[in-house]
């Protein structure tokens, strides 16, 4: 640890949040960066800002009963962690996946606090979800689950209180079911209470593309300060969901060539460049496995049960899930000539992987900076809803690009200010921490 105060606080965090390993990891990652901040600003330690930051303002756990198409009753567990509202209403997605438990939601919420702060927009941090698995469920079953979930959650939400969005397992369809139930229960057309909505009822242009586009923009900025670009580079993107699809699309537009992407069963390698329209058809329309890609695309091959990181590339964008890229995979990427990493997912690289990249001099964009485009565009959706306005695609995308350029500049500048030039992990953590800490001090002991 960089500071004895942080050693002590971390021990308390682990003791009070036992078994929540992902949360411990996310706290540790921030603590490794902010030691120099405490040397300059002892008031943060004196006023227990760090301890307060590590304790969510509110944690909600509830049961979600629902009935499947055969009349069988199921009971899932719902979560919402309202982590920090110093900068604005709680903002963060809902995740529907069997792996969801309190530790996952807290890790995601903690990350969200810093990510939102780095955007410079007036939004706090929160996260939520359920251990419900939408895979294999009919649309009517998913609707019934969403309605039951929102029946409890609605009482905790509001456009000036807590504004959820989508995440893994929660796309436009699920947001629509959730919003419909919220409107039905409250008798209010409160557009700004959920983001990621359909364009038919208050959604924002570019919201679907935002996280993936933003990641590509951030990587482009990291390369630019090194006198380089995505032009002509081979890129590997893990995952084949929303973030991965639009990271691939924007990378191609910026001149790179994505040669591989993956799903939970393996990866597809296409030396001519991934056909993003085919991936969209398979994943967004047909909802089938990625293995189908190789059957429909001449020259492509699908490799089952192996890691996509074995494909040599100059740029990698881990965009699937947490801790998917470990130290061995990082070393493999470095040996393959990788010069830049942009995290499209939340904390997809393990601490060992991060160290390998940093020691090798690879430009490493952490998720709380590189994938901030999604929440940034959610905030733009909130702006449009509040003003009863609607912006065009080009205007919204230009705003997204400006925000990602600003995020990069803040992280780059802060890292240099604290004597760690090029360390985007430190830059993002320090800038986010100071921004939130100053707001907390200004609002008194609450």
Query: Distance between CA atoms of 283 and 3, rounded to whole angstroms?
Result: 46
**For helices 172-186 and 139-153, what crossing angle results, to 10°?**
50
Q: Is 234 annotated as a binding residue?
A: no
Phi-psi category of residue 436: left, alpha or beta, with phi > 0 → left and psi -120 to 50 → alpha: alpha
Name beta bridge partners: 73: 67
Query: Distance between CA atoms of 76 and 53, rounded to whole angstroms?
Result: 29
Q: Please pick, among 127, 197, 233, 250, the residue that the annotation labels catalytic.
A: 127
Residue 66: phi and psi, rounded to 5, are: -155, 165
Q: Is 115 annotated as a binding residue?
A: yes
Query: Distance between CA atoms of 347 and 280, rounded to whole angstroms?
Result: 25
Residue among 180, 217, 259 nearest 373 (CA): 217
Q: Order across the sheet with 234-237: list the strands.
A: 301-304, 266-269, 257-263, 234-237, 315-317, 340-342, 363-365
Q: Is 112 annotated as a binding residue?
A: yes
- What lies within 8 Å, CB to CB, of 11 at 6+ separation is none
Query: Distance between CA atoms of 275 and 279, rounded to whole angstroms?
Result: 7
| Letter string b/e over residues 296-311, b meaning 16 or more CB atoms within 10 A of that residue's CB | ebeebebbeeebbbeb
| Cα angle value 369/375/377 (rounded, 5°) | 110
User: Do the Cβ atoms of 107 and 180 come closer than 8 Å?
Assistant: no
| Letter string b/e over residues 104-131, b meaning 16 or more CB atoms within 10 A of that residue's CB | bbbbbbbbbbbbbbbbbbebbbbbbbbb
Active site residue 280: no
Query: Distance between CA atoms of 252 and 141, rounded to whole angstroms?
Result: 37
Q: Is 91 annotated as a binding residue?
A: yes
- DSSP letters, 179-210, are HHHHHHHH----GGGS-S--GGGTPPTTTTTH
**Is beta strand 315-317 parallel, antiparallel or unpaired with respect to 340-342?**
parallel
Max intra-chain CA distance, the chain:
63
Query: Distance between CA atoms of 39 and 43, rounded to whole angstroms?
Result: 10
Q: Is 378 annotated as a binding residue?
A: yes
Residues belonging to the binding site for substrate are: 91, 112, 115, 166, 378
The annotation places the binding site for NAD(+) at 211, 242
Q: Binding site membership: which residues?
A: 91, 112, 115, 166, 211, 242, 378
What are the residue numbers of the active site? 127
């Amino acid at each position: 640890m960089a500071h004895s105060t942080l050693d002590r606080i971390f021990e308390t965090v682990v003791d009070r949040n036992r078994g929540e390993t992902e949360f411990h990891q996310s706290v540790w990652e921030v603590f490794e960066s902010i030691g120099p901040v405490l040397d300059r600003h002892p008031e943060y330690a004196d006023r227990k800002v760090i301890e307060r930051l590590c304790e969510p303002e509110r944690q909600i756990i509830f049961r979600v009963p629902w009935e499947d198409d055969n009349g069988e009753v199921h009971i899932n567990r719902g979560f919402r962690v309202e982590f920090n509202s110093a900068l604005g209403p709680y903002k963060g997605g809902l995740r529907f996946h069997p792996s969801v438990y309190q530790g996952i939601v807290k890790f995601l919420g903690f990350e969200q606090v810093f990510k939102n702060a780095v955007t410079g927009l007036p939004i706090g941090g929160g996260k939520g979800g359920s251990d419900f698995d939408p895979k294999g469920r009919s649309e009517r079953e998913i609707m019934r689950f969403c309605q039951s979930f929102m029946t409890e959650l609605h009482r905790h939400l509001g456009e000036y209180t807590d504004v959820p969005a989508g995440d893994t397992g929660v796309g436009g369809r699920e947001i629509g079911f959730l919003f419909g139930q919220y409107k039905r229960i409250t008798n209010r057309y409160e557009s700004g209470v959920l983001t990621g909505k359909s364009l038919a009822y208050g959604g924002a242009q570019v919201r679907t593309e935002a996280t993936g586009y933003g990641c590509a923009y951030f990587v482009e900025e990291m390369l630019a300060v090194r006198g380089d670009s995505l032009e002509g580079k081979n890129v590997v993107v893990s995952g084949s969901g929303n973030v991965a699809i639009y990271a691939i699309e924007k990378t191609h537009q910026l001149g790179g060539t994505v040669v591989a992407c993956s799903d939970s069963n393996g990866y597809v390698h296409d030396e001519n460049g991934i056909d993003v329209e085919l991936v969209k058809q398979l994943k967004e329309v047909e909802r089938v496995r990625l293995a189908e890609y190789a059957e429909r695309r001449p020259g492509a091959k699908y490799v089952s049960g192996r890691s996509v990181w074995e494909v040599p590339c100059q740029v990698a964008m881990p965009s699937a899930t947490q801790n998917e890229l470990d130290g061995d995979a990082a070393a493999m990427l470095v040996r393959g000539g990788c010069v830049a990493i942009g995290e499209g997912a939340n904390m997809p690289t393990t601490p060992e992987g991060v160290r390998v990249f940093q020691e090798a001099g690879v430009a490493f964009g952490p998720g709380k900076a590189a994938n901030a485009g999604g929440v940034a565009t959610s905030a733009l959706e909130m702006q449009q809803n509040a003003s009863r306005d609607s912006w065009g695609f080009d205007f919204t995308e230009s705003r997204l690009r400006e925000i990602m350029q600003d995020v990069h500049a803040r992280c780059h500048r802060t890292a240099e200010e604290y004597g760690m030039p090029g360390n985007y992990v430190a830059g993002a953590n320090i800038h986010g921490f100071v921004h939130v800490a100053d707001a907390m001090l200004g609002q008194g002991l609450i």
